[in-house]
Amino acid sequence: MNAASAGAQGPLAGVRVIDLTSVVFGPYATQIMADMGAEVIKVESPEGDNTRWITTGPEEGMGGIYVNVNRGKKGVMLDLRRDEDKAALRALVATADVFIHSMRGKAIAKLGFDYEAVRAIRPDIVYTNCYGYSRRGPEADKPAYDDTIQAECGIPYVQGLMNGEPGYVATIMADKVAGLHALYATMMALFHRERTGEGQEVEVTMFEAMSSFMLVEHANGAMFSPPTTPAHYHRAVEKNRRPYKTKDGYVAALVYNDKHWNAFVGAIKPDWASDEFATLAQRARQIGRVYGLLGETFLTRTTQEWLETLTALHIPCSPLRSTDELFDSEQLNAIGFFEEVDTPQGPTRFPGVPTWFSKTPGKVRGAAPRLGEDNDAVLGALAMTQAAKE
């Protein structure tokens, strides 16, 4: 582990990460590493990460998405077309525990920083490739973005089964799911290195990660030979699976397992106590009809009345909130989820660390860097260290 960040707190204190990722897939993984105490050095080209410009912020080049997924990192700007900047990156690699990038395989190799080149500098490095598609298949080096990966792994298809028209989900799911895969894969490689001293190369891809994610439930009977069902989970794509409309709004509720169903029927609809709905398996076979009947029932009361009734019956329920309302969540604010940080752009209220550790808690480590903000500090310290060794 690197001594430079040994004073930090968190389970990754002492780990130095060289981060050549951009957009959200890789930066989301390294943001969590930074929150957990790692020293993450974000290396950008002179043009900067595209997410600096795609959303708004109080300062040009510091858009909201960029600021959020690059918080707590150090920023170094290097033009890797220049020999002197390549030399600076090689010097940084020599001090690192993790090297992670999101360039295409041919591009990173052309720059001279593929795994073999980096391993020659730091033999025990954990080297993580973040790709759209695996290099081991025919679509290696094919460009990938969240929308195209959603389409390729079946999300618009199953949305179409539910809604009658294919559509993307309204979040950049593929980027974030792949980012979490990149995080855990890198951590597993680090754990292996801690036990054996052996570094290794890791590959994480958006398409394969999202295919695995989608097929958790949607593989269903298609896994078997011969298949027993098409490859989708029928409850998830049922057109009546949606928040229930009430007299004055909407409520989310899951009257699903036998305990919840019997409580609901006993208190609200005793005439539904029949053999055709008696078990979860029976209800699952006719889930569309069940959802339709529930939908008609929820129209009879207000949202607040339903929330009070369902809560008393211990049936899972929730009001329908906007993303703006998350900032006012009683639960999130009670646990101190949001962390306000004074940044050069002004006070910034970050969504905080969603995991809890009794001994090594994570935290938002600070602001996102401006382009090349830490060049002098990082490269200057590196030069001093090298001079001291000579």
pLDDT by residue (tens digit) across 310-365?
999 999 999 999 999 999 999 999 999 999 999 999 999 999 999 999 999 999 99
> For the sheet containing 126-131, what is the strand order?
74-77, 39-44, 16-20, 98-101, 126-131, 200-205
**What pLDDT band is residue 390 in, cutting at 50, 70 and 90?**
low
pLDDT by residue (tens digit) across 269-319?
999 998 899 999 999 999 999 999 999 999 999 999 999 999 999 999 999
pTM summary value: 0.94
pLDDT by residue (tens digit) across 47-89?
999 999 999 999 999 999 999 999 999 999 999 999 999 999 9
Contact 107, 75 (CB under 8 A): no
387: tokens are 């001079």
* CATH annotation of 244-319: 3.30.1540.10
Strand partners, 19: 42, 100
**What pLDDT band is residue 111 in, cutting at 50, 70 and 90?**
very high
Residue 42 dihedral angles phi and psi, to the nearest 5°:
-85, 120
- Can you give the pLDDT at residue 129? 98
Cα angle value 35/74/129 (rounded, 5°): 75
* CATH annotation of 3-214+334-389: 3.40.50.10540
Domain spans of the chain, in order of start? 3-214+334-389, 244-319
The type of residue at 227 is P
